[in-house]
Amino acid sequence: MAVLEKVKNIIAEQALLMVDDVADAASLQDLGIDSLGVVEVIFAIEEEFDISVPFNANDPDASNFDVSSVQAISAAVQQLIEQQLG
Amino acid sequence: MSNRVVITGQGAFCELGSTAAEVVTSMMNGDCAIGQMQFPDVERLSIQIGAQIKGYDPNKRFNRSEQVLYDPFTQYALIAAKEAIEQSGLMIDGELATQTGVVLGSAGGGLQTQNHSYKAVYEDGKNRVHPFVVPSIMMNAASSHVSMACGARGPCFTISSACASSNHAMGQAFQMVRSGATKIMLTGGSDSMLCFGGIKAWEGLRVLSPDGCRPFCETRNGMVQGEGAGVFVFENMEHAKARGAIILAEVAGFSMSADAADIVVPSQEGAARAMVGAVADAGLNADQIGYVNAHGTATFANDKIEAAALRTAFGEVVEGMAVSSTKSMHGHIMGGTGAIELLSCIAAVKDGVLAPTINLKSQDPCLNLDVVSNFAREQPVSAAISNAFAFGGLNAVISLKKFS
C-alpha cells in the first residue's frame, strides 16, 4: 500500500470517515480532527511506519513536519521514511 | 448555615450487577461475584481470584475516541454517574450547573493504563506509548469526565485515601451540600486494579486470600479484590423537595480520623473515634443505629480490630446493631468500595432489608457481633453507618437516616 493510502486510512479512522471522503487537499481541521486528534494521528503514523515524527503540539507550525493537508502529511512521511529507514 | 442533605440518585457498576438495582438485588440474594480472574500473565500470580468485571464490552458504551481517553476506572465511573443522574431526574444547566460539583474517590486511578503502558515500553521494547496516557491515568480523570458528561461546573476533584477514598469523597460532598457551598454533588468512587501489576503488588503484602472472602468467619484468610464504581446524587433537601424528587435516604453525618500509628495495621481507637463521630455528627444516639456496613475485609487483623472498635464505640449497644460485610460478595473495590457499600445502607434504611455476609461458616468467637449471616434479613432500620478504614490509618464513617 502506498504511503498516501496508509496515511488516508489513519486519518479516516481518526475522523470517523470513509477513506474516499478524505481528500488530498483537506486539512485535518477540515476533516473535524481537533488538536488532541492531531496528536493521535501523529502517534498512529509513527506506529504504522516505524518512524519518529518531529512534531511539537505546543507550536505545530514551528515543527519540521507539515500537517497543513493530507497530501503534505503524506509527503513529509515519505521524506522521514527515506531519512530514517534509508 | 446548615442544610439537610438527601440522596436522589444512585448508580453502580461491578461484577454483582451493571446497575444499582441489579447490584442490590444480587447482594440481597447473597450472590458471589468472586471467581478466577482472566488477564495476561494471570498464571504467574499466586492469587488468581477476584470480583473481576467480565463480559463487559466497552464498544457498547463508548465510541473509539472515548475509549482511548477512558481508563476502565473512568468508564465505570461514567456508567454509574449516568445512571445516578437519570434516576435523579435532574437537568444540570444554567445557574444550577455552577452549584453542582463532583467529588469521586479512587485509590489506583488509571492503573490499567499504567500497567499496559509500562509493559509496552519495558517488556515489549516499544519506544512509544499512546499520547493520551497522562490524561488517562491521572487520579482526577474520572471526576473530570463525569463533570464534562453532566455539565457540572462547580467544585470538582478526586480524593485518594486508599480503601477509604469513596467514603472520604462522599463525606466531603455531604459537607459541601450541608454548608451551602453547593446544591448538588455527584459523589462516590471507582477503581480498576485487577491486572498483573496491580495484583502482583498486593501479593507482596500477603493479605490476599487464595480461596475466598469470608469476613468474620473463623476460617477467614484474607481479602479479595474487586473492581467497579458507585456514584450518587447528594442534593440539598429543600431543592430536592421543591422539584418533587424521589428521595432515597438522608445523609445524616460524617466523621473521619487518623490513627497516626501504623501505615498498614489498623487502630481500634481511631476506628472507634470515627464511628462515634459519625453518629454524633448526625445528631443520633447509638441505639438508633440498626445496621452497620462494616469495612469487613476478612483479614485477620481488620475484622478483629473492627469488632473491638465497635464495642469501644458503642458499648453494649452494639449488640442491637446488625453488621455485615458485603465485600464477601463484591470483593474489595478499593477506592470504589465505600460507594458500592453505601447501596446496602440505603436499602437498609429505605426498604428494611439488610444485606448478608456470605461465606460465613462459623463466626470467629472473639468477634461477638450480630452478623447478618449468609441470607438477607428483613428488619426495619431507621439509621445506618458505613465504615471504611484505609491503609495509612485513615478512617471515614458515613451515617444515613431513613428520610421522613
pLDDT at B65: 87
CB A40 to CB B64 under 8 A?
Answer: no
Q: Does A43 touch chain B (CB under 8 A)?
A: yes
B168 part of the active site: no
pLDDT at A73: 96
List helix spans (H) across B138-222. 141-150, 165-179, 196-205
Please name the residue that has the C-alpha cell 438485588. B25
Question: Which of A17, A39, A40 is the best mutation test for B, with the most CBs of B within 10 A?
Answer: A40
pLDDT at A86 over 90: no
Give yes or no: B366 in active site: no
Residue-level pLDDT at B4: 98
- Name the DSSP letter for residue B359: S
- Sites in chain B below the pLDDT cut of 70: 1
What pLDDT is recorded for position B1?
66
Strand partners, B225: B332
Residues 6+ apart with CB under 8 A from B378: B352, B353, B354
First-to-last alpha carbon distance for chain B, in angstroms, is: 21
Is B131 in Cβ contact with A43 (below 8 Å)? yes
B255-401: same fold as B5-242? yes
Q: Which residues from chain A sit within 8 angstroms of residue B132, using beta carbons?
A: 36, 40
B positions 117-156 inside 8 Å of A (CB): 128, 130-132
Whether B145 is catalytic is no
Nearest-CB residue to A40 (from B63, B128, B131): B131
pLDDT at A58: 83
Find, in chain B, the residue whose alpha carbon is nearest to that of A50: B127
Q: What number is the average pLDDT over the span A23-48?
A: 94
CB-based contact B132 A16, cutoff 8 Å: no
List, in order of start, the domains of chain A with CATH numbers: 3-85 (1.10.1200.10)
A56 touches chain B (CB under 8 A): no
Q: How far is CA B270 from CA B147, B163, B171, B265, B313, in A?
A: 34, 15, 17, 11, 10
CA distance B101 to A71: 45
Cβ-Cβ contacts under 8 Å, B130 against chain A: 40, 43
Domain B5-242 carries which CATH code? 3.40.47.10
Chain A residues inside the 8 Å CB shell of B65: 14, 16, 37
Note the Cα B247 to chain centre separation in Å: 20
pLDDT in tens, B42-81: 999 999 999 999 999 999 999 988 999 999 999 999 999 9
Q: What is the share, in percent, of chain A residues with pLDDT greater than 70? A: 100
User: pTM of this prediction?
Assistant: 0.95
Residue pair B90/B233 in contact by the 8 Å Cβ criterion: yes
**Strands B370-371, B322-324: pairing kind:** parallel
Q: Where are the domains of chain B?
A: 5-242, 255-401
Q: Are B131 and A37 within 8 A, CB to CB? A: no
Q: Do residues B19 and B83 make contact, with C-beta atoms less than 8 angstroms apart?
A: yes
Residue type at B142 in one-letter notation = A
pLDDT of residue B174: 98
Residues of B in Cβ contact (< 8 Å) with A42:
131
Write the CB contacts of B12 (distance below 8 Å, at least 6 apart in sequence): B19, B20, B22, B23, B80, B83, B228, B229, B230, B231, B339, B340, B343
Q: Which CATH superfamily is domain B255-401 in?
A: Thiolase/Chalcone synthase (3.40.47.10)
Burial (CB count within 10 angstroms: exposed 0-12, middle 13-18, buried 19+), residue B175: middle
Query: Which amino acid, B371?
Result: V
Q: Is the pLDDT of residue A56 over 90?
A: no
